[in-house]
C-alpha cells in the first residue's frame, strides 16, 4: 500500500482536507473543514490551509484545488474568491507557508480526474463532461480519458448573465429560494446548451447536489447519459491528492 497523500479542496464557502489512499481513491480519516474566510484573500486562505495541514500527522507533498484557471501554479482568474488572487503564484505561496511542495490544480479539473479514475467516469471513452454545482459551476472535459484543462464552462455568457453559474449554480437555488423542479429546469436547459456545443457521451454531476441527484434527475432530457458523481463531495480532495502524487 502506498503512503497516503494530503488533499485540500478550496471552495468559495468551505476549505476541506483529508488524507487519501490513492490505491483505492478514498479518504482514510475524518474530513476536516473550515469556512472559507470572507473576503477570501491570499493571506486569509493561506492561514486556513496552514491550520488544516497542521491537523494531520503528515509531512509529504500536498495537493490543493483552487476555484480559478491555474497555469503552472499561477491563478489567472478568481471565481468566488478575492480578486487579489489574480496573478498570484498560488503554488509558491502555499509551498512557502507549509514548508513543502504544494501542487495547485483547478478545482473542477481535480474532481473530474478523480471521477474518471475512481468514480463514474472510469472505463468510459468518448467525450465526458464533469460538472460541479455548488457556489459556482465548475467543469472538466475529457476526450478519450484525456483532460482538457481549465475549461470554465460555468462562466459562459448565457441568458444575459455574465456567467451562467449566476443563474444555474446550486447557490442560485438557495439565493432565489427555488424549488428543486424550478432549479432542475435551469440545469436541464444549461446541459442542453452544453450538449449543442460539445455533443458529449456522458455528463457527470458533482458537487454537493450529487447527494440529491434523484430530486432533479427526472427533469433532465438531454440525449446523452447523465449520472451523479460517485465520489460525491470528496472528489476534489481525492483529485488534489492525485495531483500532489503526480508532482503537478
Q: CATH no. for residue 215? A: 3.30.420.40
- State the residue range of the domain holding 30: 5-106+235-246
Mean predicted lDDT score pLDDT of the chain: 96
112 lies in a domain? no
User: CA 29, CA 143: separation in Å to the nearest integer?
Assistant: 33
User: CA 207, CA 48: separation in Å to the nearest integer?
Assistant: 21
Distances (CA, A) of 147 to 14, 77, 167, 227: 25, 19, 26, 19
Bond from prior residue into 73 cis (ω within 30 degrees of 0): no
Tell me which of 37-41, 44-48, 182-186, 205-209 is least confident: 205-209
* Whether residue 127 sits in one domain with residue 213: yes
Q: How many domains does the chain have?
A: 2
Question: Measuring CA to CA, which residue among 57, 67, 63 is closest to residue 11?
Answer: 67
146 lies in a domain? yes
Supply angle C-alpha 91, 234, 164, rounded to 5.
Answer: 75
User: CA 154, CA 166: separation in Å to the nearest integer?
Assistant: 9
* Whether residue 162 sits in one domain with residue 73: no
Which residues lie across from 100 on neighbouring strands?
Answer: none
* Whether residue 156 sits in one domain with residue 70: no
User: CA 184, CA 220: separation in Å to the nearest integer?
Assistant: 7
Taking each continuous run of H as one helix and of E as one strand, the counts in the chain are 7, 13
9 lies in a domain? yes
Confidence category of residue 1, pLDDT binned at 50, 70, 90? low
User: CA 96, CA 119: separation in Å to the nearest integer?
Assistant: 33
Phi, psi torsion values for 206, nearest 5 degrees: -120, -165
111 lies in a domain? no
* Whether residue 35 sits in one domain with residue 91: yes
pLDDT tens digit sequence for 52-87: 999 999 999 999 999 999 999 999 999 889 999 999
The SS3 assignment for 160 reads: coil
* Whether residue 126 sits in one domain with residue 226: yes
CB-based contacts of 96, cutoff 8 Å, min separation 6: none
Which residues lie across from 103 on neighbouring strands?
Answer: 63
* Whether residue 126 sits in one domain with residue 172: yes
* Whether residue 124 sits in one domain with residue 226: yes
* Whether residue 85 sits in one domain with residue 41: yes
* Whether residue 241 sits in one domain with residue 147: no
User: How many CB atoms lie under 10 A from the CB of residue 2?
Assistant: 8
pLDDT tens digit sequence for 141-169: 999 999 999 999 999 999 999 999 999 99
User: CA 178, CA 98: separation in Å to the nearest integer?
Assistant: 41
pTM of the model: 0.93
Amino acid at each position: 500500500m502506498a503512503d497516503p497523500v494530503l488533499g485540500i479542496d478550496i471552495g468559495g464557502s468551505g476549505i476541506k482536507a483529508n488524507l487519501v489512499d490513492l490505491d483505492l481513491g478514498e479518504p482514510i480519516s475524518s474530513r476536516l473543514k473550515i469556512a472559507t474566510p470572507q473576503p477570501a484573500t491570499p493571506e486569509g486562505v493561506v492561514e486556513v490551509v496552514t491550520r488544516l495541514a497542521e491537523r494531520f500527522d503528515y509531512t509529504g507533498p500536498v495537493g490543493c484545488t483552487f476555484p480559478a484557471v491555474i497555469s503552472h501554479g499561477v491563478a489567472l482568474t478568481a471565481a468566488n474568491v478575492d480578486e487579489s488572487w489574480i496573478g498570484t503564484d498560488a503554488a509558491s505561496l502555499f509551498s512557502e507557508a507549509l514548508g513543502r511542495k504544494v501542487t495547485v490544480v483547478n478545482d473542477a479539473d481535480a474532481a473530474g480526474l478523480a471521477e474518471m479514475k475512481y468514480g463514474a467516469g472510469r472505463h468510459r471513452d468518448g467525450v465526458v463532461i464533469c460538472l460541479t454545482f455548488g457556489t459556482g459551476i465548475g467543469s472538466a472535459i475529457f476526450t478519450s480519458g484525456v483532460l482538457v484543462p481549465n475549461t470554465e464552462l460555468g462562466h459562459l455568457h448565457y441568458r444575459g448573465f455574465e456567467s451562467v453559474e449566476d443563474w444555474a449554480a446550486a447557490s442560485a437555488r438557495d439565493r432565489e429560494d427555488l424549488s428543486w423542479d424550478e432549479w432542475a429546469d435551469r440545469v436541464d436547459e444549461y446541459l442542453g446548451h452544453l450538449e449543442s456545443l460539445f455533443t458529449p457521451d456522458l455528463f457527470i454531476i458533482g458537487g454537493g447536489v450529487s447527494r440529491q441527484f434523484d430530486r432533479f434527475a427526472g427533469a433532465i432530457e438531454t440525449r446523452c447519459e447523465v449520472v451523479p458523481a460517485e465520489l460525491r463531495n470528496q472528489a476534489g480532495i481525492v483529485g488534489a491528492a492525485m495531483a500532489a502524487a503526480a508532482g503537478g
